[in-house]
Amino acid sequence: MQSANGQSASPHTGGRQQRGGSFLCRLGLFAALTGLALPVLTPLWLGFDVFSQFTIHFLILTAACALGLFTRKGIGLALPVAIAGVLALSFWAYTHRLGGSSQQTQDGRIRVMSFNTWARNKDLKAIAAEVRRQKPDIVGMMEFVPPKQKLLDDLKDVLPHVGHCMDLPHCYLAFFSRWPIEKISGKSLWEGPPYLHALVRTPQGRVHVFVVHTLRFPWLGSQMKQMRAMARLINRVKGPKIVMGDFNSTPFSSMLLTFERTTRLPLRTYVPSWPAWAGPFPQLAIDHILASPGFRTVSGPYIGDNAGSDHFPVILELSNKNAASQDAALR
C-alpha cells in the first residue's frame, strides 16, 4: 500500500493509533474514578479532601472517557467531550448571572451579597458600581485591604451602616448594611478564621450576620480547625443567623459539610464563583451564604460581575418566615 507521497504505510498504523487512544481513555477513566473515590478516605487523611473540590470535573472526565471507550473512538472523542463539559459548567454558572436589580427588596425580604473583592483589585469604582447595580440590603466583603476603605464613604448613600476589622491584624473584612447595626465586633488570630459579627435591626427583626474568610489548600488541617471553631462560636449565638464569606470549599468538601452539619445552617449557594481572572469560566463554588432554617430562599443564588476581582460575587434573596419568634430569642 502506498501513501500519498509514495512511501509505504503500515496497515497496522491505524490499529496502533486506536489502541493508543483507547489506552489514554482507560487511563483517564481510572484517574477520574480514583478522584471520585479518594474523598471517602478523608477521615483517614484530610489531604484526600482536595479531590472532593473537583467532583464535578471528575464526573465530566468519567463520562467523556466512558463515551470514548463505548464508541471505540478513544481519546479523539473523549478529549473534546471533556473540554465541552468544562465549558458547559461555566455556561451553567452564567445562566445564574444576575445583571442587576431594578429596585430594593420588598418588606419581609433580605438581599444578601458576599463578595471577595481581591486584595490586588484597585478598581474601586467598579466594585461600588456592582454593589449599586445589585441593590443588596447587606454586603460582606473579603480581602478588604486599607486602600478599599474609600468604599465605606462611596457607598454610604445606599448602605449607610458599616463596619470593618482592618484595625485587627490580618483581618480584611467589611460589612455594609442598609439597616441599622446594633453592634458589631471582629476577631482574628484565634483558632477560627477572621470574622465580623454584626447584629442588624431589619424590618423583620434582628438578625445576626457573620462575615468570614477561611484558609485554603495546602493548609487543610488549619482550615478544618477554623471551620470547627467558627461553627462552635456560631452555635453559641441565639436567634436568626446569616453566614457569608469565602470558605475556599465547594459543597462537596468535607470542610463545608462539617461546617453545615455542625451549625445546622442550610447551605444556600452552589454556583461556581471562582476563578474570574480566566474570563467567563468560573469552575469552583467556594463563596457561600448559609442561613437559619427559618429563612426561605425566594430568589437566587446568582453571581454578579467580578468588578476586577478574581471572584464573582454571590447574591441571593431571603424571606424570614419566622422572624417574630426568632427575634424573641434575642431578647
Q: Which of 149, 89, 153 is nearest to 117 (CA)?
A: 149
Average pLDDT over residues 89-101: 91
Task: Answer yes or no: is pLDDT of 276 > 90.
Answer: yes
DSSP type of residue 217:
T
Query: Per-residue pLDDT tens for 27-59?
Result: 999 999 999 999 999 999 999 999 999 999 999
CA 321/CA 208 separation, integer angstroms: 16
Cell numbers at 187, concatenated: 476577631
Cell numbers at 208, concatenated: 445576626
Residue-level pLDDT at 187: 97
Cell numbers at 292, concatenated: 437559619
Average pLDDT, the chain: 92
Classified by CATH at the fold level, domain 109-328 comes out as Deoxyribonuclease I; Chain A (3.60.10)
Residue-level pLDDT at 324: 47
pTM (two decimals): 0.91
Intervals of CATH 3.60.10.10 along the chain = 109-328
Query: What is the percent of the chain where pLDDT is above 90?
Result: 85
Residue-level pLDDT at 235: 97
Residue-level pLDDT at 325: 57
Residue in this structure with the C-alpha cell 464508541, named with its chain if needed = 71
Q: Which of 167, 211, 166 is nearest to 192 (CA)?
A: 211
CA 55/CA 249 separation, integer angstroms: 12
